[in-house]
Amino acid sequence: MRPRRALVLPLVLAALAATGSAHAAATARVAALQVGLYSHGLYRGPIDGIAGPATRRAVRRLQLRARIAVDGVPGPQTRRALGRFGRHPFGSRPLRRGRIGWDVAALQFELAAHGFPSGALDGILGARTDAALRRFQKWSAVRVDGVAGRGTFAALAAPPPRPTLRLSWPIQPASVGSPFGPRGDRFHSGIDLVAPKGTPVYAARGGKVVWADWAEGGWGFLVVVDHGDGERTWYAHLSRIDVRKGVWLDVGVRIGAVGATGDATGPHLHFEVRVRGASVDPLLALP
Ligand SMILES: [Zn+2]
């Protein structure tokens, strides 16, 4: 659909990258490169969109293997050596379920950076990426059709959402074990606060409990509090829950205790902040 107009986008992204003002836009290309290198078994670092030493080393290994000039620079020949994962610049074609390529990897990275991670960043537009794409389309008031075209690309060129409400730490004292953002070949949608099992967990702001139960999908025992203005806080892997769905809480009220329920290797609180469904960095809202 309208491929000629979509072609304009890479130029826009390049311009933004040149000014250094668009974090996500500037790094989606590197993330796509990393996904390509990862899929060829040449890179095992995080898909973080940052061209560090490990990424450059992997590019050289690919160049050596492909018998092209070994300069560590991912030019056209190098991208060709990535096969289907090096093809299709981001924005050059509409993307829908079943598509594979450089642009799909960039889309996955952009969706994650905008608060809609979809599992492994692998350059393959499967069920999870399709679902994340539709959630993002709804969030950004683009037609919800599961096709990333001009409207979706334009919405992704906007900066990622940020929290607007001030929050308190849900654990005190808190130690951040794993921050929000790229983690391995995935994107961590919250922060992990490491604390012994049984450590009290407090509401980070006043609001209404909208979930207080076991939750499928690795969350374990989960509490979700709605603070109004479209903002919610999520507290996952709890060992126990001390509140009921539907009750109103003040900030600092105990909602449960730290545990390792669901997909957790050890006791910690996975704390997440969502703005109309988009995951945002909780550290931006905490003192
Ligand atoms: Zn976590």
Kindly report the CATH number assigned to the domain that includes residue 27. 1.10.101.10
* 279 found inside a domain: yes
Average pLDDT taken over every residue of the chain: 91
The verdict on 135 and 204 lying in the same domain is no
- Which pLDDT score, from 0 to 100, does residue 254 have? 98
Per-residue pLDDT for 158 more than 90?
Answer: yes
Report angle CA 76, 81, 84 to the nearest 5 degrees: 95
Give residue 191 CA to ligand 1 midpoint distance, Å. Answer: 5
Residue 169 is assigned to a structural domain of this protein: no
Which helix (H) or strand (E) is 9 found in, with range? helix 8-19
Cα of 35 from ligand 1 centre, angstroms: 22
In angstroms, what CA-CA distances link 133 with 5, 141, 145, 257?
Answer: 20, 12, 9, 34
For residues 105 and 239, membership in a common domain is answered with: no
Chosen domain end from 123, 157, 191:
157
pLDDT at 263 over 50: yes
Distance from residue 259's CA to the centre of ligand 1 (Å): 12
Q: What local confidence, expressed as pLDDT, does residue 27 receive?
A: 86
CA of 270 to the centre of ligand 1 (A): 4
Note the pLDDT of residue 231: 97
DSSP state of 159: P
**In terms of domains, do 53 and 145 share one?**
yes
The rounded distance, in Å, linking the Cα atoms of 90 and 99 is 12
By CB neighbour count within 10 A (0-12 exposed, 13-18 middle, 19+ buried), where does 123 fall? buried
- Over residues 55-69, the pLDDT tens digits come to 999 999 999 999 999
User: Residues 202-253: pLDDT tens digits?
Assistant: 999 999 999 999 999 999 999 999 999 999 999 999 999 999 999 999 999 9
| Ion ligand 1: residues, Cβ under 5 Å | 192, 270
pLDDT per position as a tens digit, 169-185? 999 988 999 999 999 99
Question: Range of 211's domain?
Answer: 176-284
Name the pTM for this structure: 0.87
Q: How far is the CA of 45 from the centre of ligand 1 (A)?
A: 19
pLDDT of residue 89 exceeding 60, the answer is yes
User: Does residue 275 belong to any structural domain of this protein?
Assistant: yes
Q: Are 204 and 169 in contact (CB under 8 A)?
A: yes
